[in-house]
Amino acid sequence: MVSAGGTPNAQNKHLNPPLSLRLGQAIIPHRIDEWDNGMKSFLAAITLAIQPLQLAQAADLSILIENITDPGGALSWSVFDSAETYKNDRSPVIEARSRVYAATTQVTLHDLPPGVYAVKVFHDANSNGKLDRNILGIPLEGYGFSNNKGRFGPPAFAKASVPLEGDTQIRIRLR
């Protein structure tokens, strides 16, 4: 579920409306009607038994993104849970875009399983869907990584990763 806070708060022009995301719920095959009642009951019991365990372990990751130099455009951000997907910029756990209204924005990811995550974000000021670069390949738009690493390019997953064992808040300052 993705929800956003609507229009910016007129009294706080320095903070974008918060964005909250929740990972998907347990999925049961769509052809369950073909199974007998015993199997349906068994699956229902297993699902009910597992869900409290998942919720007990799930945590929220709040990401405060600062130093947005030009309110407008969109933030594009991705959350990765492995070095391989992070390095290849493929198959993020969550990937989204959110509007920019102010110099700071907060994004909260709900019900993430415990683990290690790394975040990449860039400010797509002109909303063209990509990080613009100059002729030398240097970014022209703001970008950042979890742990504020990566001064001269993307840091390794190990340097950008954040352990998530309970509710956690991180700050990313755009460059």
Quote the pLDDT of residue 9. 41
Domain that holds residue 145: 32-175
pTM value is 0.69
**Domain total for the chain?**
1
> Which residues face 110 on adjacent strands?
22
Quote the pLDDT of residue 125. 93
Tell me the average pLDDT across 67-84: 92
Q: Tell which phi-psi region holds residue 125, choosing left (phi > 0), alpha (psi between -120 and 50) or beta.
A: alpha
Residue 77 contacts residue 119 (beta carbons within 8 Å): yes
Q: What are the pLDDT digits (tens) for 88-139?
A: 988 999 998 989 989 999 989 899 999 999 999 999 999 999 999 999 999 9
Q: What are the pLDDT digits (tens) for 12-28?
A: 445 555 555 555 433 33
Question: Could you tell me if residue 153 is inside a domain?
Answer: yes
Higher pLDDT, 74 or 54: 74
- Phi first, then psi, for residue 108 (nearest 5°) are -120, 125
Which residue shows structure tokens 């007129």? Answer: 10
Question: Could you tell me if residue 15 is inside a domain?
Answer: no
The DSSP code for 26 is P
Q: What are the pLDDT digits (tens) for 43-67?
A: 455 555 555 544 557 899 999 999 9
Quote the pLDDT of residue 151. 78
pLDDT band, very low/low/confident/very high, at 37 (cuts 50, 70, 90): very low
Domain containing 93 — which CATH number?
A: 2.60.40.10
Question: Could you tell me if residue 59 is inside a domain?
Answer: yes
Question: Could you tell me if residue 65 is inside a domain?
Answer: yes
Question: Could you tell me if residue 97 is inside a domain?
Answer: yes
